């Protein structure tokens, strides 16, 4: 932990354990998360029953970003804009003997004029913890309803 991070007040802390890597499972210390993992065929696995770390990351990123936009909307007293939709795509790429992640968020904010919708996306990027941690590594695409 850097000096900068150690001076901040923790708002929430959680711990998860991985057992058996990509072909095992992950669980949280409080028991709320318990997910079986499977290696997809594209990565040399049998494609069995279970999630991948990339799926878990996509779900977490999308949920966090959608919450950030909702916070901005409530704070700035936005009018009702229908059901907000965020679809997250995560791609695992090879980089020599390493791997990289690319993420795209496809965002739809029905019934909200484009300028105001873009404002929510822009502000969401500034307050979403995942967006801030991955600054410059996520593509945000705003779609008309």
Q: Taking the chain, what is the end-to-end CA distance rounded to the nearest angstrom? A: 42
The DSSP H or E segment spanning 77 is none
54 three-state secondary structure: helix
53-143 folds as GMP Synthetase; Chain A, domain 3 (3.30.300)
Determine the pLDDT at residue 4: 61
Confidence of residue 3 (pLDDT cuts 50, 70, 90): low
- pLDDT tens, residue by residue, 42-86: 999 998 999 999 999 999 999 999 999 999 999 999 877 678 899
Please give the order of strands across the beta sheet that includes 85-95: 85-95, 98-108, 138-143
**Predicted model pTM:** 0.90
Contacts of 72 (CB under 8 A, 6+ apart): 78, 119, 120, 123, 124, 127
Inter-helix orientation angle 53-75/114-127, to 10° = 120
Instruction: List the beta bridge partners of residue 70.
Output: none
Q: Where do you find CATH 3.30.300.20 in the chain? A: 53-143
What's the pLDDT tens digit per position in 86-140?
999 999 999 999 999 999 999 999 888 899 999 999 999 999 999 999 998 999 9
Class of 3-43 per CATH? mainly beta
Parallel, antiparallel, or unpaired: how do β-strands 98-108 and 25-28 relate? unpaired
At which residue do the structure tokens 């057992």 appear?
19
**Tokens 């965020």 appear where?**
86
């Amino acid at each position: 932990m850097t000096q900068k991070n150690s001076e901040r007040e923790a708002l929430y802390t959680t711990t998860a354990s991985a057992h058996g890597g990509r072909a095992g499972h992950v669980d949280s210390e409080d028991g709320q998360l318990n997910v079986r993992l499977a290696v997809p065929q594209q990565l040399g696995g049998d494609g069995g029953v279970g999630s991948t770390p990339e799926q878990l990351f996509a779900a977490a990123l999308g949920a966090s970003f959608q919450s950030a936009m909702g916070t901005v909307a409530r704070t700035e007293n936005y009018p009702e804009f229908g059901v907000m939709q965020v679809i997250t795509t995560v791609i695992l790429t090879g980089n020599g003997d390493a791997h990289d992640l690319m993420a795209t968020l496809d965002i739809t904010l029905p019934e909200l004029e484009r300028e105001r919708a873009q404002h929510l996306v822009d502000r969401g990027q500034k307050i979403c913890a995942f967006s801030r941690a991955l600054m410059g590594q996520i593509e945000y695409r705003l779609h008309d309803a």
